[in-house]
Structure 1
């Protein structure tokens, strides 16, 4: 359903910077940015991956932006040229990432979600459509946003 112009209308974009260690994620910075935003989904889709979901004060989703930076493995570069680059899984993954989201005036919070669709439990009989499988959304964290208004 298309959104009506009003308090949810986008006023630009925000850069959100997160840090994570293991399962703990925290929002460390929120900055308005003057740039075109691509990748935000409206209407909101549920598909596999990680997402930053912008919500208003009533917990309605305003936008859903893919996040590709949450990694559970690391690339380890060799000390000697020509040796292979290794991918390892650390005991406690840690890092930081940035995501650009719409700066809607009604944005009150951002939720980081991990969305996955389980594999079908059984094979589909020939000639029958597969039963719909609902994606599972795991909330990694919910963070309050600073009010957005005129930035001048």
Structure 2
């Protein structure tokens, strides 16, 4: 990554940073990522139990400052469902992106097992030759990474 940044200081603007989030309520909420940073006490109240249950998988991306999505993925994320998303849904989500950027962007994947299934990697190697970041990719996503991408530091907090 550092070598790419030295070659092209705008390299990070050419990366489609992506992440999936499973939003679910099964009686308890995961309050780990629910923070409120205020200068004064907002007297924030948070519900921590519910009888209503649901589960949604959402994919979201950021490319050159543009938020792409969110897009609801069906059921549990598998290699096959992720491959179908990449082939069928992602091109539609990128329609508003300028054509020259659509043809040259890099795709970032984290270490999710569905991202490095054999058919997914085969597709990524053909669609993004030497232009994808991920587990077993041309640029490796660090193992046990804390997922250092803009979605974790901007989008999740903004939502």
- The alignment's TM-score, normalised by the length of structure 2, stands at 0.25
The structure with the greater share of residues assigned to strand is 1
Largest Rg, 1 or 2: 1
Which structure ranks higher in relative contact order (CA pairs < 8 Å, sequence separation ≥ 6)?
A: 1
- The alignment's TM-score, normalised by the length of structure 1, stands at 0.26
The structure with the greater share of residues assigned to helix is 2
